[in-house]
Amino acid sequence: MDLTPISNWILLAAGLVLIVMEMLTLTFILVFIGIGLVLTAAIGQFFWTFDNATEQLLLMAVISFVLAFVFKPHLTKRFGPNTSSSTLETLMTGDKGKLTLHNGVFRVMYKGTTYEVANAEDGDFQDGEKVIVTQIENNQAQVAKPTH
The C-alpha atoms of residue 15 and residue 31 are separated, in whole angstroms, by: 8
Banded model confidence at residue 58, pLDDT cuts 50, 70, 90: very high
Q: Give residue 37's pLDDT.
A: 94
Q: What DSSP string runs through 82-97? A: ---S--HHHHT-SSEE
Q: Over 80: is that where the pLDDT of 97 sits?
A: yes
Q: Over 60: is that where the pLDDT of 86 sits?
A: no
In contact, 130 and 96? CB cutoff 8 Å: yes
% the chain with pLDDT above 90: 27
Q: Which residues pair with 96 in a beta bridge?
A: 132
Polymer length in residues for the chain = 148
Most confident of the ranges 7-16, 97-106, 127-136? 7-16
Q: Give residue 110's pLDDT.
A: 87
Cα dihedral: 105, 102, 106, 124 (round 10): -100
Banded model confidence at residue 61, pLDDT cuts 50, 70, 90: very high
Q: What one-character DSSP code corresponds to residue 64? A: H
What is the amino acid identity at position 32? F
